[in-house]
A and B are shown apart, each in its own frame.
Chain A
Amino acid sequence: MSTTTMNATHSHDDHGPLKGWRRWLYSTNHKDIGTMYLIFALIMLFLGGASAMAIRAELMYPGLQLLDPDLYNNIVTNHALVMIFGAVMPAAAGLANWMIPLMIGAPDMALPRMNNLSFWILPAAALMLILSFVVPFFPGGGSQINTGWTLYPPLSLKVGMSMDFLIFTIHLLGVSSVLASINIIVTIFNMRAPGMTVWKMPMFVWAWLVTAFLLILIVPVLAGGVTMLLFDRHFGTSFFDAAGGGDPVLFQHLFWFFGHPEVYVLLLPSIGVLSQVIPAFSRKPLFGWNSMIGAMIFLASLGMVVWAHHQYTIGMSSAAVNYFMIGTILISIPVGLMKFNFIATMWRGSMTFETPMLFAISIVIMFVFGGLTGVMLAIVPADMQYHDSMFVVAHFHYVLLPGAVMALFAGVLYWLPKWTGNMYNEKLGKWFFWTSLIGFNGTFFVQHFLGLAGMPRRIVDYSIQFAEFNFISSISAFVYGLSHLIFLYLVITTIKGIGTTKAKPRSWEGAQGLEWEVESPAPFHTWEKAPKIDKEGHYVK
């Protein structure tokens, strides 16, 4: 460290990027770390996408074609974990890293070295996750993971050493998430430019603040739960074994105490993205600013106390079941409020329909579908019928793909000019949007019918009467999967500047916020001198 070369008036030690691989390995720059998060997420998206394609290929026709049942179960488990922990959360964290310091006028994240650590734990976790998938194919590697991402005992106690790799993967991911969340909270509380009060912060920053709190509260509980699983597997404890006085259902409670709020961890950053995108392309401020914050806090708090609606069939007392049902149905209030605010923002706005906005509008519509089936699933007697059917699969893909993945695409396209200095090719963007929209709905809409007709989920084979809808679903899934190659091509051409136009600092006519006051592409260091902000929260030149 050059502690002696310190400049008296300027305590930045860090002046420009290092050369070569050291730039990325040793980085303390929020933009480089954000970029690494996003690239990692994209790689994981394609890995998780490949497993989804394998699942749909197997389910295209009844009977066993491509995968044996063990491998199918292994892939189903892997698909969920890779997508949730590898793709969606890192992508959202990448947006946070890139945009939060730019949006609040901070020179970087509050704890830059820890920021680097929270990213670099992810590739380690990915390595462990991939090992958990491939180890059973080596001699002495034990059985494949067949539990699904929920890892319920007693099944997860019987799996071979793969399960230990998976447990430690979850520990690693947990450490990464908690460190990143601490960094985000501290950055938001301590690094805002003078005049950027919490009540003037962009909604994306607010959304991440709520998300980071949620993560700090729930991730340690999952870490504790899988630690107990590890002890039951190797050290003779009886937490989840009724013969020793324990209870397998305990793990379900611990898992879903994490798992349900996790849904909002995936959703809230996307609500933040939509809160930036929709006003920008409607050329109006966000409608119901305060109510949006209230809705997010309400959603996060309520989300922490309704976890057992994933477990209606375990034989809880009817008082407990009723409580969880009512709590779950209440969730539709804050979500409805958010949707109302988005629609009211568009109302009489002078709207244009660039790709991020197209995504935003379709998300508002499709997320309502997912929300409505969510209310159906929340109702206990109905859920007893839908439980573990394809209806559940349709429901959560309608929530998570529009609510998390597509909104992240909207965010990436919205901020891509700021990152690369180039406007992406709008024609390619529109192609990506329409193919993915059609592919997505074709894949998952028919799964509602399959589930209602009684097709169970997570099963490699199915009865002959489900064949047509499964065929439609699989063909659409391939369209949906391939549409992401358009996105990949779009991103690469934008970075390379092939067939693109140069982006202005304010890349979109209606875009508001401090991030549009710096050049495009954003220089390596921004806001080394804090921006001036007036009483309305606007930038003063």
Chain B
Amino acid sequence: MSSAQNNYFIPEPSKWPIIAMLSILLLLLGSALSFNDVSVGNYMIVFGFALLAYMFHGWFSEVIGESLSGKYGEQEDNSFRQGMFWFIASEFFFFLCFFGSLYYLREIAVGWLSGEGYLAATQEFLYPAFEGAAAAWPTAGPELVGGAFESMGPTGVPLINTALLLTSGVTLTIAHHALKKENNSGLVLWMWATIALGLTFVGFQAYEYIHAYGELNLTLGTGVYGSTFYILTGFHGFHVVMGSIMLIVIALRSAKRHFTPKHHFAFEAVAWYWHFVDVVWLGLFIFVYWL
């Protein structure tokens, strides 16, 4: 326990949480309306995004200001670290939901529905047509929802992407070492290298989606294979984009010399997040592309 207990920084009342709430509400309410073809929803989404951007800019500016004016000591830093750690833990379980679903659909549901082993009656009563090609992964079900398709293999783009993300983890660590040695130009350089690798990954991922839609007829609507493929890679890709934006912010802040060897929570938080995104990709590469 720190002896600075009674000096713990309690921020002044702040308008940002309520703006954050309003922006999220606008986004979700707008989406619910928009998905049901109520056109006012589209405007709400646009306005919600604008408000969200304003909120992030304002809230983070305030926090960065507090950090630079030295209001955060060891104990505050510790709160942020632990908070980030548990946030990433919750993200982990979010992805676990989709990985678990993939496992269940692929290893359990398809077998049961196609009457594997002693479950012949299950197939007969529930879905007699669930057999043949429908029963073997990759599947789009007995009705071949979305039409004939080819599945995505691990070689080529996914392999390159694995190399890109793993390398970006290394360059980020080099940047961290540069930060600890107060080598600011090295820090900035390696940050931008990391960002370049991340954005290249996003580019390749976009290329892969275009290829899948155009040539493999593998779409979001391609039965359960397409569904699991796109929800897993899609949410991961979204996290890479978020991570890249966070890295860009950190790179710009590095250039402004916001970080010291002892005091750089924001850098570490983003680095943890990036490594987490890396690990999720390894899971994707093994379970979605490879096996």
A residues sitting closer than 8 Å to B (CB atoms) are 1-3, 6, 10-14, 18, 22-23, 25-29, 105-108, 110-114, 116-117, 120-121, 123-124, 127-128, 131, 142, 160-161, 164-165, 167-168, 171-172, 175, 178, 181-183, 185-186, 189-195, 216-221, 223-225, 227-228, 230-239, 241-247, 249-250, 253-254, 257, 315, 317, 527-530
Q: Name A224's contact: one of B97, B139, B225 (CB within 8 Å).
A: B97
Chain B residue with the shortest CB-CB distance to A113: B14
| CB pair A186 B83 closer than 8 Å | yes
Provide the bound-state CA to CA distance between A112 and B10, in Å.
7
| CB pair B141 A14 closer than 8 Å | no
Given A113-B11, A168-B32: A221 in contact with B97 (beta carbons within 8 A): yes
B107-136 interface code vs A (CB 8 A; 1 in, 0 out): 001101100000100100011001000100
Collect the chain B residues with CB atoms within 8 Å of residue A160's CB.
Answer: 36
Collect the chain B residues with CB atoms within 8 Å of residue A192's CB.
Answer: 1
Partner-contacting stretch, out of B19-27, B199-207, B262-270, B278-286: B19-27
| CB pair B12 A219 closer than 8 Å | no
| CB pair B130 A246 closer than 8 Å | no
Chain A residue with the shortest CB-CB distance to B96: A221
| CB pair B28 A238 closer than 8 Å | no
| CB pair A246 B90 closer than 8 Å | no
- A96 nearest CB across to chain B (Å): 15
Q: Could you list 19 examples of A-B contacts with CB < 8 Å? A: A10-B7, A26-B13, A28-B10, A107-B5, A117-B17, A120-B17, A124-B22, A128-B28, A128-B29, A142-B36, A186-B79, A190-B79, A219-B90, A225-B97, A235-B221, A245-B140, A245-B224, A246-B109, A246-B227
Provide the bound-state CA to CA distance between A223 and B14, in Å.
28
The interface residues of chain A, by DSSP majority, are classed as: helix
| CB pair A244 B24 closer than 8 Å | no
Provide the bound-state CA to CA distance between A249 and B122, in Å.
13
| B155 interface residue (CB < 8 Å to A) | no
Residues in B1-56 with C-beta less than 8 Å from chain A:
1, 3, 5-18, 20-22, 24-25, 28-29, 31-33, 35-36, 38
Q: Name B11's contact: one of A112, A175, A247 (CB within 8 Å).
A: A112
Q: A117-B20, A189-B82, A245-B223 are in contact. List 16 more A-B contacts (CB 8 A).
A: A3-B66, A13-B12, A14-B10, A14-B13, A26-B15, A164-B32, A182-B83, A190-B79, A193-B5, A235-B220, A237-B221, A238-B141, A238-B145, A238-B227, A239-B227, A245-B225
B72-93 interface code vs A (CB 8 A; 1 in, 0 out): 0001001110110011011101
Provide the bound-state CA to CA distance between A205 and B86, in Å.
18
Chain B residue with the shortest CB-CB distance to A254: B97
| CB pair A250 B79 closer than 8 Å | no
| CB pair B126 A242 closer than 8 Å | yes
Collect the chain A residues with CB atoms within 8 Å of residue B97's CB.
Answer: 220-221, 223-225, 254
Chain B residue with the shortest CB-CB distance to A123: B21
- B155 nearest CB across to chain A (Å): 25
Provide the bound-state CA to CA distance between A296 and B113, in Å.
38
| CB pair B6 A116 closer than 8 Å | no
Provide the bound-state CA to CA distance between A317 and B29, in Å.
41
B residues sitting closer than 8 Å to A (CB atoms) are 1, 3, 5-18, 20-22, 24-25, 28-29, 31-33, 35-36, 38, 59, 62, 65-66, 69, 71, 75, 78-80, 82-83, 86-87, 89-91, 93-98, 100-101, 104-105, 109-110, 112-113, 119, 122, 126-127, 130, 134, 139-143, 145-146, 219-221, 223-228, 230-231
Collect the chain B residues with CB atoms within 8 Å of residue A186's CB.
Answer: 79, 82-83, 86
Residue from B3, B59, B141, B146 having most chain A Cβ neighbours under 10 A:
B141
- B19 nearest CB across to chain A (Å): 10
Provide the bound-state CA to CA distance between A228 and B119, in Å.
27
Residue from A25, A111, A114, A186 having most chain B Cβ neighbours under 10 A:
A186
| CB pair A237 B231 closer than 8 Å | yes
Provide the bound-state CA to CA distance between A246 and B80, in Å.
41
Collect the chain B residues with CB atoms within 8 Å of residue A105's CB.
Answer: 5
- B85 nearest CB across to chain A (Å): 9
- B68 nearest CB across to chain A (Å): 9
| CB pair B5 A121 closer than 8 Å | no
| CB pair B141 A164 closer than 8 Å | no
Provide the bound-state CA to CA distance between A11 and B28, in Å.
37
Provide the bound-state CA to CA distance between A244 and B228, in Å.
12
Chain B residue with the shortest CB-CB distance to A192: B1
| CB pair B86 A185 closer than 8 Å | yes
